[in-house]
């Protein structure tokens, strides 16, 4: 749709999935008007009932996936760790670091881990692909995440009839996103049911639930987007600081396996993303009493206060340079994007 091309599929397609294609495209076109409706040419296969009775669930060792595993009404037989999803499939060192966090949690949950390796993102992510037009943003997260994970579900359909995708968005921030409660279930077929789980709770609520049900597993949470090769989390990016403050307020002591070094709260305003996480900052500040975490509370007040004129000017200048590069120097903009994602 983003490339403006139609799709011809030689193999037969599930009647259920074929019937959902129109609805999937309707949702994506509503979110991204620049897309074009694609024509799908495919032979419809025979109806097939759900034959596999087992359930698999995506598991990265983070807040969303651990919250899903602690749901007593959801019986999961196998945890699926996807390598090539957030990191290049060639980075086996990052896979080993991830397993250091995931395997202890799996033992506590009494479940086994299946590692799935894929290079699909490196071939088809429109944000930095080498063919066709690029998507001006994070194509993988914004448009494709649920479909990417559903593709893995269909590869496992012989053994697992249900595949659970933990929710990434909180109920008060259901923005357009590739994994969405209105979208994920549409990727189901007659053989595999794709389930979007956990959309009823926000991130802070999930952390409270985790620390109340499995405090030991909370000490192995992997949440960092920087992917340091030598430890589970960097500890000082915005996501790390938001998570560790919530854990500390919920009674999880540091140092622990997830965060072995003290936090640098003074650095938080420099890496915070107020436009994206403003609600979570407000909720953390309400929860964060000065007598418990005074430095974190001070950092949150700085984040939530109006930015100084020079910081606002710097942000607008940076956005202006990016826009000018895309309009007048697309080759330079493409080079900058390839450098950023050179490992992919």
The answer to whether the CB of 245 falls within 8 A of the CB of 296 is yes
Residue 311 has pLDDT above 80, yes or no: no
- Asked if residue 291 is part of any domain, the answer here is yes
| Tally of domains within the chain | 3
- Asked if residue 301 is part of any domain, the answer here is yes
pLDDT in tens, 100-131: 999 999 999 999 999 999 998 887 776 665 66
Q: Are both 175 and 117 inside the same structural domain?
A: yes
The CB-side HSE value for 6 (13 A sphere, CA atoms) comes to 5
pLDDT for the residue 327:
65
Residue 148 has pLDDT above 80, yes or no: yes
Cβ atoms within 10 Å, residue 291:
6
pTM confidence score: 0.87
Q: Are both 69 and 178 inside the same structural domain?
A: yes
Q: Are both 293 and 319 inside the same structural domain?
A: no
The answer to whether the CB of 245 falls within 8 A of the CB of 278 is no
The CB-side HSE value for 256 (13 A sphere, CA atoms) comes to 17
Average pLDDT, whole number, for the chain?
87
- Asked if residue 173 is part of any domain, the answer here is yes
How confident is the model over 228-236, as a mean pLDDT? 90
How many Å apart are CA 222 and CA 244, to the nearest integer?
11
Q: Are both 323 and 229 inside the same structural domain?
A: no
The domain in which residue 98 lies consists of 54-197
Joined together, the tokens standing for residue 72 give 């007593």
What DSSP line would sit under 53-82, residue for residue?
-EEEEE--SSHHHHHHHT-TT---SEEEEE
Q: Are both 171 and 298 inside the same structural domain?
A: no
Q: Are both 319 and 290 inside the same structural domain?
A: no
pLDDT in tens, 25-72: 999 999 998 899 999 999 988 766 666 789 999 999 999 999 999 999
């Amino acid at each position: 749709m983003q490339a403006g091309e139609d799709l011809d599929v030689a193999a037969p397609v599930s009647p259920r999935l074929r019937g959902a294609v129109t609805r999937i495209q309707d949702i994506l076109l509503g979110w991204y008007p620049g897309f074009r409706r694609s024509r799908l040419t495919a032979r419809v296969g025979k109806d097939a009932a759900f034959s596999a009775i087992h359930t698999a669930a995506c598991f990265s060792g983070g807040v969303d996936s651990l919250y899903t595993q602690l749901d007593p009404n959801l019986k999961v037989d196998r945890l699926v760790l996807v390598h090539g999803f957030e990191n290049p499939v060639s980075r086996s060192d990052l896979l080993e670091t991830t397993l250091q966090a995931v395997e202890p949690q799996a033992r506590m949950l009494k479940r086994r881990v299946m590692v799935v390796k894929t290079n699909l993102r490196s071939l088809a992510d429109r944000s930095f692909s080498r063919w066709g037009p690029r998507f001006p943003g994070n194509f993988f997260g914004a448009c494709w995440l649920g479909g990417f994970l559903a593709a893995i579900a269909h590869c496992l359909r012989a053994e697992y009839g249900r595949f659970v995708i933990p929710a990434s968005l909180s109920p008060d921030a259901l923005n357009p996103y590739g994994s969405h409660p209105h979208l994920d279930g549409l990727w189901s077929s007659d053989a595999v049911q794709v389930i979007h789980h956990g959309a009823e709770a926000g991130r802070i609520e999930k952390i409270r639930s985790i620390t109340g049900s499995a405090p030991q597993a909370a000490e192995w949470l992997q949440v960092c987007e920087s992917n340091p090769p030598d430890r589970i989390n960097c500890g000082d990016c915005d996501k790390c600081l938001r998570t560790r403050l919530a854990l500390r307020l919920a009674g999880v002591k540091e140092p622990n396996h997830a965060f072995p070094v003290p936090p640098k709260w003074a650095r938080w305003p420099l890496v915070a993303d107020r436009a994206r996480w403003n609600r979570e900052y407000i909720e953390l500040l309400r929860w964060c009493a000065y007598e418990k975490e005074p430095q974190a509370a001070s950092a949150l007040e700085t984040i939530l206060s109006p930015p100084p004129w020079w910081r606002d000017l710097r942000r607008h200048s940076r956005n202006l340079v990016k826009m000018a590069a895309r309009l007048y120097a697309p080759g330079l903009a493409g080079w900058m994007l390839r450098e950023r994602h050179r490992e992919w």
